[in-house]
Amino acid sequence: MSWRADILTIFPAMFPGPLGDSLAGKALADQKWRLNVTDIRDFGLGRHRSVDDTPFGGGAGMVMRADVVDAAIGAVAATGGKAEDDRPLIFLSPRGKPLTQARVRELAAGPGAILVCGRFEGIDQRVIEARQAEEISIGDYILSGGELAALVLLDAVIRLLPGVMGHAESGLEESFSAPLLEYPHYTRPAVWNGRAVPEMLTSGNHAAIAAWRLAQAERITQSRRPDLYNQYLDSVHAPDRFASGAHAP
């Protein structure tokens, strides 16, 4: 069975969006992953298929109703032909835990995910608790809804699925695969606008190249992400990908 993503949204036309192109799009066409999109408005109330209401306690904005969202989730979970869907239920929310590469790898190793895209002020807390939804954030900023966040999460996961990336090493040689940001990359021409490629990279000495890349990764991480650099210093083992002298394809 291929990895399966179910999206619940009131804007189904936003999918697959960019996931229909490039690596993700080819993988979708090759059935390395599957995408199903459910319009939450199909479960809305009244002739206008209302999905939201005013918040208890007052305040600006509207809140997506628990009964409507829960009905949509229940319908999606039932499509697998069993009472319990073993895929994680994820609500994209700015108050969720930050999405990390470690969580992306966990999701890629599983059967798929059900992603709920909120709108307005979010969804009724009761359905989040009743369904034990995992809340995930893609950053400390506010979007108009969860759809773009869902696309980001899916793109990060799909590229790690078996057979999606051309080189297996590519996923190991990237930022966040270890507690370091990625080192700089160079390609032809060897000299561009008077700027030459660092001589080390043309030396053919793979052990020295690996050491240079590690030093560059450390420098960049310390400068741009001191929080990650401190994690790196606290780690027991240096990244195996550098210690082994691995080099980018």
For each successive 10 residues of the chain (249 residues), what is the average pLDDT? 95 98 97 98 96 95 97 88 77 96 97 97 97 97 97 98 77 66 95 97 97 96 95 68 38
pTM, whole model, 2 decimals? Answer: 0.86
Does residue 32 contact residue 3 with C-beta atoms inside 8 Å?
yes
Q: Are residues 135 and 95 in contact, defined by beta-carbon separation less than 8 angstroms?
A: yes
Strand order in the sheet with 33-39: 33-39, 3-9, 112-117, 89-98, 134-137
Cβ(149)–Cβ(143) below 8 Å:
yes
Q: Which residues pair with 38 in a beta bridge?
A: 8
Residue 150: per-residue pLDDT? 98
**So what's the pLDDT on residue 50?**
96
Task: Walk me through the domains of the chain, giving residue ranges and CATH numbers.
Answer: 3-158 (3.40.1280.10), 168-243 (1.10.1270.20)
pLDDT of residue 85: 80
d(CA 212, CA 200): 8
Strand 89-98 relative to strand 134-137: parallel, antiparallel, unpaired? parallel
Q: Which of 9, 13, 6, 15 is nearest to 34 (CA)?
A: 6
Q: What pLDDT is stored for residue 166 in this prediction?
A: 75
**Distance between CA atoms of residues 155 and 160, nearest Å:** 9
**pLDDT given at position 223:** 98
